[in-house]
Amino acid sequence: MKDLKLAGLDSERSIIEVDGVKIGGEEIILMGGPCAVESSIQMQESAASVKKAGGKILRGGVFKPRTSPYSFQGLGLEGVNYMVQAAKEHGLLCVTEVVDTRSLDLVVDKVDLLQIGARNMQNFELLKLAGKVDKPIILKRGLSATIEEWLLAAEYILSAGNPRVILCERGIRTFEPSTRNTLDVSAVGVAKELSHLPVIVDPSHAAGRRDLISSLAKAAIAAGADGLLIEMHPNPDEAVSDGPQSLTPEQFLALARELGGVARSVRRAFDMGTGDSLEALRSQIDKIDRDIIEGLAERMQIVRKLSDQKRLDRVKDVSREKEIIQRLMTLAEELNLPSDLIKKIYPLIFEYGVQTQIKSKLQDEKIDSSFYNLGSK
Ligand code: PEP
Ligand code: MN
């Protein structure tokens, strides 16, 4: 794609680091909070929930670009202060949307990241201003913007001098009325193929309804997203904006608990939070135990299939077993697990595998010979 002089992918992917939080690295970063900042208590509760879920960044809009001029327009500076305070007290970073020079100047020294919303993706003067600040910019994809237009908007920020841009897919306008927008899941892959910039997904503005957020968030991770930006409100029914698409804190936490497994399945990391209570920690362990057993069951099934391709005297392959153990011991060390554990567990797994293969071979032979006997009568 021409003109992606700085945004185009040549060799390495960019990892954008903000106070120790790395976006675009191995870990998928969760960001959450209400559409609009409404009060100090609302932000305190939101921050506590984001933290508990393992989120790293608190969101909240204070300058709201609303479709109707009569809708709530945001609390401005007062709102930023509520968010900044809540984020600080809970050890989170925070992000808010800027819409023009004035709003940018008001918040730039207070928040950790700035957001440029879908409606401003091609506000070129704003993009140039964002290129002059020393804060990462989350650049949402415009309502009807092509991926090329979105990447060129990022190029504006980069070429004005700010190298820290995070792309955010948030659904595009299509002919389909059953969701607010249509989440373009493939845009994640396309943007990452064309650009080195991290790509996150906002399933909330895509769906416009909370019942779809969980599945869209999982789809985003599977598609390669580097982070998720999700609307959550302590009391969505009372929210001044985007209540129907906002998760409750409980739903947000339950979703975060599920995302770890999805992240693992695509070899990414996901912080499932401290969850501090014994109950929360136990539920994380239960989930991981389930994944372990499901993984073992899947392994056994493959082992059974393997037996079709082996002779009975070749079922046990000592050199392959040694090679597997060696490889897993190295991995265990990398992951800070005692490598002894592998030496203890794996011989047992191999043993069951061999027994299963022998049983299934003997069974096949029995069937073959009884078939033969029948035929020879
Ligand atoms: C928002 O994040 O609150 C928002 C207005 O999003 P978008 O610009 O994607 O509509
Ligand atoms: Mn919103």
Q: Determine if the pTM surpasses 0.95.
A: no
Among candidate residues 299, 236, 276, 314, the one with its CA nearest the CA of residue 35: 236
Give the per-residue pLDDT at 88. 98
Q: What percent of the chain has pLDDT over 90?
A: 79
Q: What is the mean pLDDT of the chain?
A: 92
Q: What pLDDT band is residue 363 in, cutting at 50, 70 and 90?
A: confident
Question: pLDDT, tens digit, for every residue of 40-68?
Answer: 999 999 999 999 999 999 999 999 988 89
Kindly state if the Cβ of 170 falls inside 6 Å of ligand 1.
yes
Smallest CA separation from ligand 1 atom 10, residue = 118
Interval between CA 118 and ligand 1 midpoint (Å): 6
Kindly state if the Cβ of 140 falls inside 6 Å of ligand 1.
yes
Interval between CA 97 and ligand 1 midpoint (Å): 8
Smallest CA separation from ligand 1 atom 9, residue = 118
Residue environment code for 101-127, b if the CB has 16+ CB neighbours within 10 A, otherwise e: eebbebbbeebbbbbbbbebbbbeebb
Among candidate residues 190, 165, 233, 174, the one with its CA nearest the CA of residue 23: 165
Give the per-residue pLDDT at 367. 65
Q: What pLDDT band is residue 115 in, cutting at 50, 70 and 90?
A: very high
Residue 363's alpha-carbon distances to 158, 299, 311, in angstroms, are: 66, 20, 13
Atom of ligand 1 nearest to the CA of 202: 9
Interval between CA 205 and ligand 1 midpoint (Å): 7
